[in-house]
Amino acid sequence: MSILYITADLMFSSRVVGAAKTCAVELVVTSPQDAIEKAASTKARQVILDLGTPNLDVEAIVPKLRASTSEPITIIAYGPHVQEAKLIKAQSAGCDQVLTRGQFNSQIDELLRKFSAEK
């Protein structure tokens, strides 16, 4: 099992990748275009969506991610606090948890440890 991380932000993703290594969690970084295929092939049980990713249609991708696996999948989305419309859209699309980027940054270790314990 792994966590699928949909982002295009190479700078911030290095922080998340480092936290995943510390928590001994397999993290697969992907683009929105490859996310559905990767979710199925990696048997991801958790998805992290960076709402700042270009060409990310959260309303379209969330149901596709859920349909890509027979197992339950947890979807966490985060985005800039100043882009409230994107955060609301993610909540409406069915994301399990929606955080501002600052909240996600401060909670990333805790979120990854929780996932690691659920394996």
Name the residue ranges covered by the structural domains of the chain.
3-118
Give the separation between CA 57 and CA 114, rounded to whole angstroms: 27
Question: What confidence score (pLDDT) does residue 115 get?
Answer: 79
Its sign, for the CA torsion 44, 49, 50, 54, is: positive
Is the CB of residue 92 less than 8 Å from the CB of residue 114?
no
Give, in order, the Cα–Cα distances in Å from 44 to each of 6, 36, 39, 102.
Answer: 12, 10, 5, 24
Given this model, what pLDDT does residue 71 score? Answer: 86
Half-sphere exposure of 33 (CA within 13 A, CB side): 3
**pLDDT, tens only, 12-31:** 999 999 999 998 899 999 99
- Which amino acid would we find at residue 26? E
pLDDT at 119: 56
pTM: 0.92
The domain made up of 3-118 has a fold known as Rossmann fold (3.40.50)
Per-residue model confidence as pLDDT tens for the chain (119 residues): 689 999 999 899 999 999 999 988 999 999 999 999 999 888 888 999 999 999 899 999 999 999 988 889 999 999 999 999 999 999 999 999 999 999 999 999 999 988 777 75
Cβ(104)–Cβ(9) below 8 Å: no
